[in-house]
Amino acid sequence: MKSWNEECAVVGVYNVDKASVLSYYSLFAMQHRGQEASGISASNGTKITTIKSTGLVTKIFTQKRLDKLTGRSSIGHNRYSTAGEDSINDAQPIFARYDLGEMAIAHNGNLTNAKEVREMLIKEGAIFQSHLDTENLIHLIARSKKQSLTDRIIDALQHVDGAYCFIFLSRTKMFAIRDRYGLRPLSLGKIYNDDGSIGYVVASESCAFDLVGAEFVREIKAGEMLIFDGAYAMQDSQPKSIQVFEPNPHPCVFEHVYFARPDSNVFGYNVYKARKQMGIELAKEHKIKADMVIPVPDSGVAAAIGYSKQSGIDFELGLIRNHYVGRTFIEPTQQERELKVRLKLNPIRELIADREIIVIDDSVVRGTTSKQIIKILRQAGAKKIHLLISSPPTISPCFYGVDTPHKEQLICANKTIEEVRKYIGADSLGFLSIKGLVKSIGSEGKTLCKACFDECYVDDYTNNLGG
């Protein structure tokens, strides 16, 4: 329901029979992180095969296609277009042949200096096949003078800035890397094969491990690269680790606010637990008398439960979401924007009519969706509507892999809270404080990236480490 667009999802599977099948199920578990395109690259030890297309995972990967993705290692990607354009050329993984053999790359995040690096490479004769910032890495690796792929990857990473989780697949190895800030989540899991050997799964969210039966091992550290190579003797049942960059962790706070699945553990903390606590903190900060608390489904459910628990006001499902509505591509006139909201949400009139209600949502971006929700509830007969948001006002765009509007399109960056309230038509409007948000995630004393709320981007945090 938001103008926030989901981040991408990445997965890597190593030393597992039919690795592509595990990648498929992992991508299915993380479909919420991107619905524009999906792809899987698989290696059988001598050749990498890649299949990718626009659309959902279940539509792209038929049994016939999965049968073509043979081998014991694979990587996969769900895409939302944080960079590039909506085309099959910009789907991932990206595959290339170069002097050391074959390689595929999957990327979650955004390279903030991608334009400069791309222009430099083009001037030196590089030819690009996509609009993706990820493709920069292919050229940087191919042009590196280092002898091994490991050293070439490390060399290439010295030239890029921003947020990234990269998974590289060669014919015999797999590499997983997080940027020095650890902005995007990436975790390691292991799975026991029938012959007693250990396989590995790397994924953006731990919900992928749950589906494929993998055991969570740990988060990959900020600035760390894991090397999966059959030639290495795996120490302590884990792949080889290289700390490529000095870690300076600034995990993205919006993973817990909105992006991650509630059943995932992200940055060492359960998402559902965090969102429920946001609702509890919201109730402490905004004490309102009302007949019921209702969430905007699905993102507001956990926070609404927390608010209800803390306030003692009954929780009700006053808005029902239609989960079978796909994207609409009609022109965004005012009437059609209203229809889009109604396609997804419908109020229970008998529950809402003549009642004073507290509506819980996770964020306000442009304000247009919130305005339509308030209108729907008014038409359903609500006597009074209090809109509470389980995050602070969004005042700044993200440059690290989240497709957010420009600042002039962010309503809270351009209007006071009272002006926003009048625009959306609520009787009252309140937001969770930054302090309450940080407390909810169990991260007091830790440095989160909260740039969308405080305009302090990771490069500035050395001089602004406020919690």
Active-site residue list: 8
Query: What's the rounded Cα separation, in Å, for the pair 390 and 393?
Result: 10
By the 10 Å C-beta count (0-12 exposed, 13-18 middle, 19+ buried), 148 is classed as exposed
Q: Annotation-wise, does 362 bind a ligand? A: yes
151 half-sphere exposure, CB direction, 13 A CA radius? 6
> ω into residue 298 within 30 of 0, thus cis?
yes
Q: Annotation-wise, does 236 bind a ligand? A: no
Q: Is residue 77 within a helix (H) or strand (E), and if so which, with residue range?
A: strand 73-79
Residue 39: Cβ within 10 Å count = 27
C-beta of residue 297 within 8 angstroms of C-beta of residue 318: no
Q: Annotation-wise, does 207 bind a ligand? A: no
DSSP tag of 8: P
Residue 294: Cβ within 10 Å count = 28
C-beta of residue 23 within 8 angstroms of C-beta of residue 75: yes
Residue entry with tokens 């004490």: 287
Q: Annotation-wise, does 449 bind a ligand? A: yes
Angle at 341 between CA 336 and CA 347, to 5 degrees: 135
Relative orientation angle of helices 135-143 and 114-123, to the nearest 10 degrees:
50
Q: Annotation-wise, does 456 bind a ligand? A: no
Residue 186: Cβ within 10 Å count = 28
DSSP readout, 256-290?
IIIIS-TT-EETTEEHHHHHHHHHHHHHHH-----
Sheet with 101-111, edge to edge strand ranges: 94-98, 101-111, 162-169, 173-178, 224-229, 240-243
The binding site for [4Fe-4S] cluster consists of 252, 398, 449, 452
The binding site consists of 252, 299, 361-362, 398, 449, 452
The binding site for Mg(2+) consists of 299, 361-362
